[in-house]
Structure 1
């Protein structure tokens, strides 16, 4: 009888644990919208992201040490129509010599008032300021002042750096805000890469032990290029091209790495972790961001794969040849594409590839690196041939 009771009790505990695991709240997924100039591409990007990302954190205002204040030119009617919770992000450059509490607060309150006058309902304000550890006491004073000036209904959050974990000021700093966003990408020498998932996991665990309030992880869904400067230090090129000579070294956050990290965080989240915020909302013409298809797949926890193939379209005997990716993972351009074809009157490759032609083969060879987004298609060449064996053609990675 005692054995039966013991087994029953053990079963009840196991069932209770299983229920608790099932009832655990999933990690929230949010997006940064980080363009200073909005375009028509925002409309489709917002529409297609709505089902997977709960909240938009939108760049609203930037302050630079030598260039003053700059407002982001948002599309207020589009944001109003979108309807998701909206957090205005104010970027205060880390090189600012000091934070004038009255001036900065006045600028922020004016942005809040202007957005509200355009019919936008704010769910919070976020301050993005890369203060060094020595300046955290000053930053704490500023945040205390700002929080008291904001409407009580408007939560205040900050973007935070892992370097702050070594500061005794951190608990006091976190006490001034309602939540924090720990940025775990592009936080050290960019020559070492954009992101280290193991280090990010350690930082998140350590942050959860110090923070008594909800915090989020800001994760990368983008790439940059490094250009050499005159003194050898790297110059970072992101969304906006830089007019500078020199070899570009491309760095891209790996979706497979981020997918594994997101899965681990869902299964065993650090204390107080409330969600993930992806940087940044990808636009159709954003050449250094993941495609939205890949970002959504990572956020959902879907299995990731690229599926490259060829598409042929006939125009009065002339075949346009395109590379397509029907998978959910962005792919590098393949090194070689072989098309079985014979009796060709003419053929050529388009930018990015060269063509070698033999009696029964057209071989397209990659000349430079590029990416084909998930769900995307790119023309690679054309051919006018008596016979093209579409089924016999293939793509080499």
Structure 2
């Protein structure tokens, strides 16, 4: 082989190697909605434990409803100040409002900004959450243009946006009036069709990327709701606040495995202009309809999701407390059945949510209703006063 030929072969090999080299996509920005109307001591731990994984907090700050008027969320400014992350105040303007009074809304927002700044909080931006119908988008665009001109220049203006707006020719002009948009792809259809559809979310994100020239984020669900029956109409949706109503509840929960796959696809090949993901919502320790923070963090990081249910026994003077722990990073349903191999039992009983069937050498705890054990959490299911409980011969049946 001549010198020139060897050079050509070497260059060709280098070119092929360069073409095959794997380049990791830059990580998508991950943010959180904080959507509780009244803050509690549980916010302290939730903020501390979420700080390493989520860059920005979008905090429900102010709401306007047709009859109830204006109300502010009762935040804890000291916690937010200590947290130190980028902070965006979200103003929720109910979609049933007949019209938006520009002067009144502007006055409310300016007062909010002034009050938060007076408490030592630095706002990076304001987000308007308004479910305007397509016919009202021209008026909404004019409102946003007025708001943008009245806001301090360094403060960004964003909006929550709906996939239904993709059908409106007004959308490109509307998006040009704000600094960024947040496309909500959960709870946007008839609730009887489900809370979230991964394929539709991908389609909407791609369509959005072709229309906007500004950065946009995808708002993804990390929660569940319950549907309550109503008389002759759409079901009533129960979310964070319990609703006193009879009838069977149909629980809908966003699937962490499905969301993890979608997030992985978006990280590998993000649509044009997509700047990141915003998860709804910051989970508190007592939030029964949100993913645990452990699961949310695992999904946002792209970790492999797994749950592992284990039997927990603690004994004191012959009395055994019986429980189940979830040693994985994925929330899991209560096990359907738990069987314990026993000897010499004087008594036993199940706790709420389970029933007990007792045989001479076997205790069987059977689930009566649905529930979840958070990743890293545990749940007591009963007790037994037995001479021997053989944990090795006992089983947890998912």
Distance in 2, matches of 1:7 and 1:264, equals 35
Aligned to 2:117: 116
Q: How does 1:2-17 map to 2 (within 5 A)?
A: 4-5=7-8, 8-9=11-12, 11-12=14-15, 14-15=17-18
Q: Partners in 2 of 1:136 and 1:393 — Cα distance?
A: 61
Give the equivalent residue in structure 2 for 1:62: 63
How many Å separate the matches in 1 of 2:127 and 2:389? 57
TM-score, structure 2 as length reference = 0.97
Deviations 1:85-122 (A, max 9, x none): 00000000011000001101110111111100000001
Match of 1:103 in 2: 104
CA distance in 1, matches of 2:336, 2:60: 38
1:171-230 CA-partner distances (Å, limit 9, x unpaired):
100000000000000101010000000110010001011110110000000000000112
- 1:1-397 counterparts in 2 under 5 A? 1=4, 4-5=7-8, 8-9=11-12, 11-12=14-15, 14-15=17-18, 18=21, 21-22=23-24, 24-397=25-398
User: Structure 1: which 5+ residue stretches go unaligned?
Assistant: none
Q: Name the SS for the 1:304 alignment partner.
A: coil
Question: For 1:311-367, what per-residue CA distance to the aligned partner results, in whole angstroms no more than 9, with x for missing partners?
Answer: 111121100001110000000111100011111000000000000010111000000
CA distance in 1, matches of 2:40, 2:8: 67
Question: Does the residue aligned with 1:191 lie in a helix, a strand or coil?
Answer: helix
1:2 Cα offset (Å): 5.8
Structure 1 segments, 4+ long, off by >2 Å, are: 1-7, 9-19
TM-superposed deviation, 1:26: 1.0
Q: Distance in 2 between matches of 1:6 and 1:48?
A: 54
| C-alpha deviation, 1:25, in angstroms | 2.3
The CA RMSD over aligned residues, in Å, is: 1.3
SS in 1 for 2:270: coil
CA distance in 2, matches of 1:69, 1:392: 60
Do the aligned partners of residues 226 and 7 (structure 1) sit closer, same or farther apart at CA in structure 2, a change above 3 Å counting? farther
Separation in 2, partners of 1:3, 1:231: 81
| 2:26/2:267 contact within 8 Å kept | no
SS of alignment partner, residue 188 of structure 1: coil
Kindly state the Cα deviation for residue 11 of structure 1 after the two structures are TM-superposed.
2.8
Q: Distance in 2 between matches of 1:18 and 1:98?
A: 55
Q: 1:104 to 1:321 in 2, by over 3 A?
A: same
Q: C-alpha offsets along residues 99-150 of structure 1, whole Å, 9 cap, x if unaligned?
A: 0011011101111111000000011100000000000000000000001111
Q: CA deviation at 1:6?
A: 6.4
Give 3-state SS (helix, strand or coil) of 1:338's partner: strand
Deviation, 1:10, is: 6.2
The 2-side partners of 1:279 and 1:28 are apart by 14
Unmatched runs of 5 consecutive residues or more in structure 2: none
**CA distance change for structure 1 residues 185 and 296 in 2, over 3 Å: closer, same or farther?**
same
